[in-house]
């Protein structure tokens, strides 16, 4: 069972958060099987009228039999799953050393931090999406990235980024909650400026309920890792007006039969033969 917060407890301990992640990792395949029944047959996604009670058991058995016979296998164990099991076993008892460091050395002192733009953060490693899947041990936190890093936020991020005046390898980020306007999440990410890729991320800690886990990470840490390691290096999306979009479409479909014609400048061979 995942852990529950005690009365007056605001966040899980690292061990509790890790153990909860271990449970959800194991439960993923079970919940996926349950979800497939609801997705394929919406009858099961709604409240079933009481009049179905005499036959509901038979209906459910028939539904599962059809899915078992005609749907592909939900999960086939691969080397990735074995690596995942090894990682879970390795990290489930690990301590959050960055959290310990912040508490021991009082690194949350506001006077020691300097607010900077994302572009002013030097030495933070460039990441790939595969790194985030690897770090989170799943897909849930990665799927949540888009909810935090909406397109508008890429040009005007809602995060507040701070660098420490002495410790160059730690960044502090404040980000507003998606659910409560009055709540701001505070998190830290530690990185090694001499190392590349995911290996350079040496620690992370968020003050949210599950933020101290080191088996995976919370959605806030994942979203910030995306923003600092991937998003800020990508070209800004060009926002076109509706008129421009319409004119573009008119140019592309200007063939006599309404067929799309290629832009000659995209084609090296056309240019060279003209």
The nearest distance, CB 164 to Zn ion, in angstroms, is 20
Written as one string, the DSSP assignment of 238-270 is: PPPPHHHHHHHHHHHT-STTS-----GGG-HHH
**CB-based burial label for 157 (10 Å; 0-12, 13-18, 19+):** buried
x/- contact string, 153-192, with Zn ion (CB under 5 A)?
----------------------------------------
Q: Which of residues 10-29 bind Zn ion (CB under 5 A)?
A: none
The nearest distance, CB 95 to Zn ion, in angstroms, is 18
Spatial separation of the C-alpha atoms in residues 37 and 83, rounded to whole Å: 29
Q: Look at strands 113-116 and 160-164 and give their pairing.
A: antiparallel
Spatial separation of the C-alpha atoms in residues 101 and 89, rounded to whole Å: 24
The nearest distance, CB 199 to Zn ion, in angstroms, is 22
What does the block give as tokens for 146?
Answer: 């888009």
Q: Residues, the chain, total?
A: 274
CB distance 175 to 183 below 8 Å? no
The nearest distance, CB 196 to Zn ion, in angstroms, is 25
Nearest partner of 228 among 166, 167, 178, 175, judged by Cα: 175
Cβ atoms < 10 Å from Cβ of 167: 14
Considering the complex, state which of residue 189 and residue 218 has its C-beta at the smaller distance from Zn ion.
218
What does the block give as tokens for 113?
Answer: 């931090």
Count, residues near Zn ion per rule CB under 5 A = 5
The nearest distance, CB 125 to Zn ion, in angstroms, is 20
Q: Which of residues 191-220 bind Zn ion (CB under 5 A)?
A: 206, 208, 211, 218, 220
Considering the complex, state which of residue 220 and residue 227 has its C-beta at the smaller distance from Zn ion.
220
Considering the complex, state which of residue 63 and residue 202 has its C-beta at the smaller distance from Zn ion.
202
Q: Which of residues 72-91 bind Zn ion (CB under 5 A)?
A: none
x/- contact string, 217-236, with Zn ion (CB under 5 A)?
-x-x----------------
In what helix (H) or strand (E) does residue 201 lie, and over which residues does it extend? strand 201-206
Considering the complex, state which of residue 25 and residue 212 has its C-beta at the smaller distance from Zn ion.
212
Q: Which of residues 238-267 bind Zn ion (CB under 5 A)?
A: none
The nearest distance, CB 249 to Zn ion, in angstroms, is 43
Cβ atoms < 10 Å from Cβ of 24: 15
Spatial separation of the C-alpha atoms in residues 41 and 243, rounded to whole Å: 42
Considering the complex, state which of residue 211 and residue 229 has its C-beta at the smaller distance from Zn ion.
211
Considering the complex, state which of residue 62 and residue 183 has its C-beta at the smaller distance from Zn ion.
183
The nearest distance, CB 138 to Zn ion, in angstroms, is 15
Considering the complex, state which of residue 127 and residue 208 has its C-beta at the smaller distance from Zn ion.
208
The nearest distance, CB 154 to Zn ion, in angstroms, is 20
Spatial separation of the C-alpha atoms in residues 192 and 199, rounded to whole Å: 8
Considering the complex, state which of residue 89 and residue 108 has its C-beta at the smaller distance from Zn ion.
108
DSSP assignment letter at 44: G
Binding interface with Zn ion (CB under 5 A) = 206, 208, 211, 218, 220
């Amino acid at each position: 069972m995942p852990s529950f917060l005690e009365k007056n407890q605001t966040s899980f301990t690292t061990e509790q958060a890790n153990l909860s992640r271990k449970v959800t990792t194991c439960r993923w395949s079970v919940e996926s099987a349950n979800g497939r029944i609801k997705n394929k047959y919406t009858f099961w996604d709604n409240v079933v009228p009481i009049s179905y009670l005499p036959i509901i058991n038979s209906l459910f058995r028939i539904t599962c039999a059809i899915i078992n016979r005609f749907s592909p296998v939900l999960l086939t164990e691969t080397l990735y799953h074995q690596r995942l099991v090894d990682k879970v076993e390795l990290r489930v008892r690990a301590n959050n050393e960055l959290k310990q460091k912040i508490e021991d050395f009082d690194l949350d002192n506001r006077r020691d931090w300097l607010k900077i733009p994302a572009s002013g953060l030097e030495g933070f490693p460039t990441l790939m999406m595969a790194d985030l899947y690897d770090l989170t041990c799943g897909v849930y936190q990665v799927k949540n990235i888009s909810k935090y890093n909406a397109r508008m936020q890429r040009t005007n991020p809602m995060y507040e980024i701070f660098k420490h005046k002495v410790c160059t390898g730690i960044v502090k980020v404040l980000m507003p909650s998606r659910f409560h306007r009055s709540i701001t999440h505070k998190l830290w990410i530690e990185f090694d400026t001499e190392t590349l890729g995911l290996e350079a991320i040496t620690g992370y800690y968020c003050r949210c309920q599950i933020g101290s886990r080191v088996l995976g990470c919370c959605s806030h840490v994942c979203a910030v890792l995306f923003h600092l390691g991937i998003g800020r290096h990508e070209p800004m999306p060009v926002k076109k007006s509706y008129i421009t979009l319409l004119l573009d479409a008119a140019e592309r479909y200007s063939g006599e039969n309404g067929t799309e014609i290629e832009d000659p400048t995209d084609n090296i061979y056309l240019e060279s033969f003209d």
